């Protein structure tokens, strides 16, 4: 797996308009793990890609009503089969964390990379998702030395009053074993 101009060579490149520049001089020093499924609990399809590219028809499903006008993105999505889609180059600021705080520093989007796992808080993730995530995390730690195993966290860790992902089904011990930390 290689990076070329901050894009993962193994990923399907699907550029999102939902990003901007990081504040000048900001070091990438945090990796945030999320989960997503659209509709909730359903896997497969193009709805996640459509959401991250502002192409989701929010009238298709009743649960999409709250997504009207939402502009969000993540750097990377790992689907249930381990397929990778990248929406924002890693050196740019994706809009994944929202109101957030890590170690007293606000606005985690400024200094973090966001990786979405297709899943839910209470659905076990697939082995291939863990393998892909660990492989990507090792590459990102080599490329962006500010990221360490201790600076790989869940969305729930940086926005505990709002978010629960990656959820109780995410096996941190198994993931850390795959990561080698």
Predicted pLDDT of residue 180? 87
Q: Using one digit for the tens of pLDDT, what is the confidence trace for 39-55?
A: 999 999 999 999 999 99
36 closest CA partner among 27, 26, 25, 47: 47
Give the full edge-to-edge strand order of the sheet including 84-86: 12-13, 84-86, 76-78, 112-118, 30-36, 152-154
Q: Residue 13: is its pLDDT beyond 90?
A: yes
3 closest CA partner among 58, 84, 73: 84
What mean pLDDT value characterizes the chain? 97
Give yes or no for a contact between 61 and 39, defined as CB atoms under 8 angstroms apart: yes
Q: Residue 81: is its pLDDT beyond 80?
A: yes
Residue of 42, 71, 99, 116 marked catalytic = 116
Q: Residue 1: is its pLDDT beyond 90?
A: no
Predicted pLDDT of residue 11? 98
**Which DSSP category does 62 fall into?**
G
Domains of the chain, earliest start first: 3-179 (3.40.80.10)
Question: Does the predicted TM-score (pTM) go above 0.95?
Answer: yes
Give me the percent of the chain exceeding a pLDDT of 70.
Answer: 99
Active site residue 71: no
Q: Using one digit for the tens of pLDDT, what is the confidence trace for 86-142?
A: 999 999 999 999 999 999 999 999 999 999 999 999 999 999 999 999 999 999 999
């Amino acid at each position: 797996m290689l990076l070329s101009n901050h894009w993962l060579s193994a990923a399907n490149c699907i550029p999102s308009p939902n990003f901007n520049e990081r504040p000048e001089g900001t070091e990438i020093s945090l990796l945030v793990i999320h989960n997503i499924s659209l509709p909730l609990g359903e896997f497969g399809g193009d709805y996640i890609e459509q959401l991250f590219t502002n192409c989701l028809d929010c009238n298709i499903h009743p649960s999409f009503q709250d997504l009207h006008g939402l502009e969000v993105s993540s750097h990377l999505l790992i689907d249930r089969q381990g397929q990778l889609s990248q929406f924002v180059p890693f050196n740019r600021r994706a809009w994944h964390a929202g109101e957030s705080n890590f170690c007293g520093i606000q606005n985690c989007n400024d200094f973090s990379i966001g990786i979405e796992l297709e899943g839910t808080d209470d659905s076990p993730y697939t082995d291939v998702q863990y393998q892909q995530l660990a492989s990507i995390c090792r590459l990102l730690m080599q490329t962006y030395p500010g990221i360490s195993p201790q600076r790989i966290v869940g969305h729930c860790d940086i926005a505990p009053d709002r978010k629960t992902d990656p959820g109780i089904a995410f096996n941190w011990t198994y993931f850390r074993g795959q990561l080698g930390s």
